[in-house]
């Protein structure tokens, strides 16, 4: 078409591409590249002094062509992400406006800055349009319960209440992805496959749960835990691996690092005294024992009367252990 019309006095040379070529489209790399070519070709024609306009359309609500496979849930998901489908009258108005615009490559699409990014990361090109997170949350009507750390709230609950709270969070996020009215419409034991999840919606759910719970979650999340109930159980373990008890693993209840005598004995028994000296920690070990350091000095005693340079060279490990632990034998 370009070659056949080069000698004609055209008023309009318009090509229709897709926003996928500008913003990217998961799982459609070849489609995105083909549309990016159209945008570049129109720019090249314009540089040659020929008329050309490439329109990288966003999604249309009318079920035709490539949008014929989009379900109502898909359209709702796009709207929640701040990229609602164009109504036919909107598209026609944008087409008329594009023909009057001097740019060779345009992006006619609907963008809702109030909810932009609500379904996942904002495309880099549109980040300047997104409202700050707090304003976006208020505008979209979604309350935020993140004022108090979730793990702290869960730790105050009984195990049964904790599992219920996490399950409610999972179901609420599932409902958000699928466009349901509330999490009550989600069956806890219905598989995600039966609920209609695909690769794209599974990633969206993963992202939403990761944001809501403050966790880094794998892309295979719903395949590893195929029902909301199973997923909630796993997330409980991730959020509170110690069951919610207020203590640190291997430590005391007050958070200190409690180490028993047997552990110290085992550690010291495997380290030659000479190795402690060479590594520079012998003085520290001796200080713990309350004895003189490797040079024969003690705290408050600058110099010993007659330090024995070899006093700790040949000490037995068992004796050193007893010194550190304060054993009196």
Burial of residue 21 (CB within 10 Å: 0-12, 13-18, 19+) is: buried
- The stretch 304-313 carries a mean pLDDT of 47
pLDDT at 294 over 60: no
Per-residue pLDDT reduced to its tens digit, 146-166:
434 677 788 888 888 989 999
Burial of residue 248 (CB within 10 Å: 0-12, 13-18, 19+) is: middle
pLDDT at 328 over 70: no
The token duo for 46 is 């314009």
- In this predicted structure, what is the pLDDT of residue 229? 95
pLDDT at 285 over 90: no
- In this predicted structure, what is the pLDDT of residue 109? 93
Highest mean pLDDT among 10-24, 56-70, 276-290, 294-308: 10-24
Residues pairing with 60 in the sheet? 86
- In this predicted structure, what is the pLDDT of residue 39? 96
The CATH homologous superfamily to which domain 14-110 belongs is NAD(P)-binding Rossmann-like Domain (3.40.50.720)
pLDDT at 274 over 70: yes
Highest mean pLDDT among 34-43, 200-209, 316-325: 34-43
Lowest mean pLDDT: which of 6-15, 46-55, 127-136, 310-319? 310-319
In degrees and rounded to multiples of 5, residue 126 shows phi and psi of -105, 5
State the DSSP code for 121: P
84 within 8 A of 110, measured Cβ to Cβ: yes
Distance CA 323, CA 223 (A): 56
Residue 83 binned pLDDT confidence (cut-offs 50, 70, 90): confident
Share of the chain above pLDDT 70, in %: 67
As a whole number, the mean pLDDT across the chain is 77
- In this predicted structure, what is the pLDDT of residue 288? 65
Lowest mean pLDDT: which of 141-150, 225-234, 286-295? 141-150
- In this predicted structure, what is the pLDDT of residue 136? 44
Residue 118 binned pLDDT confidence (cut-offs 50, 70, 90): low
Per-residue pLDDT reduced to its tens digit, 57-68:
998 988 777 767
Lowest mean pLDDT: which of 42-51, 61-70, 174-183, 293-302? 293-302
Per-residue pLDDT reduced to its tens digit, 159-211:
889 899 999 999 999 998 887 878 999 999 999 999 989 887 888 899 889 88
The residue ranking higher by pLDDT, 15 or 157, is: 15
Domain ranges of the chain: 14-110, 150-239, 261-325
3-state SS assignment for residue 292: coil
For the domain spanning 150-239, the CATH number is: 1.10.1200.10
- In this predicted structure, what is the pLDDT of residue 198? 85
Distance CA 41, CA 64 (A): 26
- Please name which of 82, 156, 160, 69 lies closest in space to residue 119, comparing C-alpha atoms: 82
> Rg of the chain's alpha carbons, rounded to an integer?
33
- In this predicted structure, what is the pLDDT of residue 64? 73
- In this predicted structure, what is the pLDDT of residue 29? 84
* 3-state secondary structure labels for all residues of 180-242: CCCHHHCCCCCCHHHHCCCHHHHHHHHHHHHHHHCCCCCCCHHHHCCCHHHHHHHHHHHHCCC
């Amino acid at each position: 078409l370009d070659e056949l019309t080069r000698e004609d006095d055209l008023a309009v040379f318009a090509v229709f591409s897709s926003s996928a070529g500008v913003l990217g489209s998961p799982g459609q790399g070849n489609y995105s590249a083909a549309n990016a070519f159209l945008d570049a070709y129109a720019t090249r024609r314009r540089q040659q002094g020929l008329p050309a306009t490439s329109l990288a359309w966003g999604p249309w609500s009318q079920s035709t062509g490539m949008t014929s496979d989009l379900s109502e849930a898909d359209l709702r998901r796009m709207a929640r992400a701040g990229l609602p489908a164009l109504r036919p009258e909107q598209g026609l108005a944008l087409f008329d406006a594009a023909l009057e615009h001097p740019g060779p490559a345009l992006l006619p699409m609907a963008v809702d800055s109030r909810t932009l990014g609500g379904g996942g990361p904002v495309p880099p090109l549109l980040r300047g349009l997104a409202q700050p997170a707090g304003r976006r949350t208020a505008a979209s009507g979604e309350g935020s319960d993140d004022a108090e750390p979730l793990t702290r709230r869960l730790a105050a609950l009984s195990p049964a209440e904790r599992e219920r709270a996490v399950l409610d969070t999972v179901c609420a996020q599932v409902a958000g992805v699928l466009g349901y009215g509330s999490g009550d419409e989600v069956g806890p034991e219905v598989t995600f496959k039966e609920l209609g999840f695909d690769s794209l919606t599974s990633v969206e759910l993963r992202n939403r749960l990761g944001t809501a719970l403050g966790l880094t979650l794998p892309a295979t999340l719903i395949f590893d835990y195929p029902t909301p109930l199973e997923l909630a159980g796993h997330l409980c373990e991730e959020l509170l691996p110690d069951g919610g008890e207020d203590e640190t693993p291997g430590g005391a209840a007050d958070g200190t690092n409690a180490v028993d005598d047997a552990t110290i004995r085992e550690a010291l028994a495997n380290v030659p005294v000479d190795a402690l000296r060479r590594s520079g920690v012998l003085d520290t070990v001796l200080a713990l024992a309350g004895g003189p350091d490797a040079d024969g000095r003690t705290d408050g005693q600058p110099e010993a009367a007659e330090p024995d340079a070899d006093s700790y060279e040949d000490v037995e490990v068992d004796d050193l252990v007893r010194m550190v632990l304060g054993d009196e034998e």
